[in-house]
Structure 1
């Protein structure tokens, strides 16, 4: 039953998230927002909704391990699993803007999160607000810099959604909200039951099974694109997802319900958050050495191999 709840929860999160993105973009077009703003804010917030609902549901149920493990595991999976496998299939070119703005913000938010948790073993509402406000400032800077560049990445905005009827937008919002609510509820309950049945911690389940599950849609889309020799993924978008996970998902969750570090899972601060920081940090030498601005198959194998080691240590 626990496995069924996890699977149906993940499926509902994927479906609910997709409907929410469609509805959000359609509504944004109605409000006359530019494609650039829609792509960099509305789509980003909407695609982070599944992780937000899972972490919020877990925090409200008092399972802080899942709230933290969901984000830490998802950030590791985005780089080790999604980026690693995609690069193995098809080498990725990297834009110079990546290490000028996105990467520094990802590293900064990761270290700030570590400090907040290490300081008093809890992510407070004030600290959550600081994270969220920093995200807003980052987005303003990002939009301004992107407006100066003709290469601003707005491919993920579907023009067809500009002519969608109001009725469809409302229906998509309702379906998306219902999918995210019940998906997060059943996923958290299923994860707790599965952890008990297997004999491992809630945190171990969240940092592996739940994190992989929430990364599956992006992984599937990237692999299909890579096999078709299309642009597999934007590294900037992937790193942006990691920034949103920390500043938006954990930030908003902490504002609503402070997240305490469970003393029974010290590996959150002693080990796994450092895995997250290490996967983020290694991107710079990988991008610059030996072939600049490319993540090739060998580098992809290194990332994926590192991810397998992480999974082994997390479940051990």
Structure 2
């Protein structure tokens, strides 16, 4: 029954996230916000809503390990699983923005998160506020640079500019309800599975929940790669990792401070996140330069497989 709850929860999160994204874009068009700004702010926040609801629900339910490892696991999955599989299907070109802005910012947020957690085994409200302020600064620089370079945003559907306020309200309502109940089912189901399997909530959250919340990105990336489209980029995934740390954990910590309750979060999990993030630089600059080819994708995917194996091996 617990697995059924998890599946229902993940399904509701996917459906709710999609309705929230579409309604948010439609509302932004009604407010005359530019397509570029919508793509870099509204879409990014909306696509982080499932992770945010899961982490917030877990923290409020007294499961802080799920709240933290949901983000850490999602960041690992974005690089090892999503980027790895996508690169195996088709090579990914790397733009200069990756090593000039996106990657350094992701590493800074990752290291800062590690310091905040290591310092006192607690993510405080002040630290959550610092993460959010850092995110706002990052968005300011991102939008300013995009305006200078006249960057277009492909993941914003122009057709959503035509929808009416009535449909927007309905979509927002469906999205909100689906996300709320999806997070409830997922967190409760995951906790029950952890207890029945005799493993910690942190293990379930960094594997099952993290993979589940990365399914929409993985599906979109694989479909785009098969079609030969450029809809997936390294910059988008890196930006997703930044949002996961800064907005998901930042907002959750502001509402309820998050303690570190499981030792492996600081002794193992966070270092895997830092490792997957750091390895991207040598991969990008190794021949072929500025291309993530199938071999590099296979390396990332195999690395993710090793991570999952170690996580479960050390718990039995």
Question: TM range, normalised to the smaller chain?
Answer: over 0.9
> CA offsets per residue over residues 23-65 of structure 1, 9 Å max, x none?
1000000110000100000000000000000000000011001
Runs of 4+ aligned structure 1 residues displaced above 3 Å come to none
Report the 3-state secondary structure (helix = DSSP H, G, I; strand = E; otherwise coil) of the residue aligned with 2:149.
coil
Query: Partner of 1:165 in structure 2?
Result: 164
**Offset of 1:178 from its aligned partner?**
0.2
Listed as ranges, the gaps of 5+ residues in structure 2 are: none
Which residue of structure 2 lines up, in the alignment, with residue 297 of structure 1?
A: 294
C-alpha separation in 1, matches of 2:55 and 2:184: 10
Give distance in 1, aligned partners of 2:312 and 2:179: 27
- Taking structure 1 as the reference length, what is the TM-score of the superposition? 0.98
Q: Which residue of structure 2 lines up, in the alignment, with residue 135 of structure 1? A: 135
SS in 1 for 2:180: helix
Residues 126-157 of structure 1: per-residue CA shift (max 9 Å, x gap)? 0000000100010001100110113x241001
SS at structure 1 position matched to 2:156: coil
Contact 2:55 2:249 in 1 (8 A): yes
TM-score, normalising length from structure 2? 0.98
Give the corresponding residue for 2:276.
279
2:122 corresponds to:
122
Q: For the residues of structure 1 that align with 2:31 and 2:231, how far apart are their CA atoms? A: 31
Measured against aligned partners, the alpha-carbon deviations of 1:214-266 in whole angstroms (never above 9, x if no partner) come to 1111111111111122225111110000000000000000000000000xx21
Partner of 1:17 in structure 2? 17
Aligned to 2:252: 253
In 2: Cα distance, 1:192 partner to 1:218 partner? 24
Residue of structure 2 equivalent to 1:84 = 84
Distance change (3 Å), C-alpha of 1:137 and 1:181: same
2:263 to 262, 266, 284: 266
Q: Check conservation: 1:86, 1:232, Cα contact below 8 A.
A: no
- Partner of 1:52 in structure 2? 52
Q: Is the contact between residue 155 and residue 231 of structure 2 (CA under 8 Å) also seen in structure 1?
A: no
DSSP 3-state at the match of 2:153: coil
SS for the counterpart of 1:80 is helix
Does residue 42 (structure 1) correspond to residue 38 (structure 2)? The answer is no
State the alpha-carbon separation in 1 of the partners of residues 23 and 197 from structure 2.
39
Secondary structure of the residue aligned to 1:33 is coil
Residue 291 of structure 1 and its aligned partner are, at CA, apart by 1.2
- Answer yes or no: is the 8 Å Cα contact 2:154–2:231 preserved in 1: no
Distance (whole Å) between structure 2 residues aligned to residue 63 and residue 213 of structure 1: 18
- Contact kept, 8 Å, 2:82 with 2:218, in 1: the verdict is yes
| Cα contact 1:223–1:232 (8 A) shared by 2 | no
Aligned to 1:308: 305
